[in-house]
Amino acid sequence: MEKNIITILGVVFLVVGVLGFFNDPLLGVFDVDTVHNIIHLLSGALALVVVGMGAEALRMYAKIFGAVYGVVGAVGFLTSGDMILGLFMSNTAGDVLHLALAVVLLYVGFGRPSHRDPIVTSM
């Protein structure tokens, strides 16, 4: 399950990163700039790398990027204008999406057990 989620997010990050160079606002909704697109490309590439590294790497990626996207979303709501800390563009729609991504990633990183208990049946 974790592998599928991180794989899907990795591919989406890559697609969004590329589309952002040709379509701003992205999908007619999200304000992006070159730095924002590069961040998406790096997030997606790293996601696809960790998919092949095992469950612990997946969870570590999810924890780190969940925290980062959560901070980015929160800072976006707390600052005026469309620049996050003067580094890259994001609007309210982007801030909401960053918080939603944070919830999903933090769930993958912290919310699921690292191994499943075997089913024990008694007769």
pLDDT for 113 beyond 70? no
Report yes or no: 31 and 82 within 8 Å, Cβ to Cβ.
yes
- Phi/psi for 45 (5° steps) reads -65, -45
Maximum separation of any 2 CA atoms in the chain, in Å: 65
- Phi/psi for 44 (5° steps) reads -70, -45
Tokens of 6: 């991180």
Of 19-23, 72-76, 91-95, 118-122, the range with the lowest mean pLDDT is: 118-122
| Predicted TM-score of the model (pTM) | 0.85
pLDDT number for residue 120 = 45
- Phi/psi for 62 (5° steps) reads -60, -40
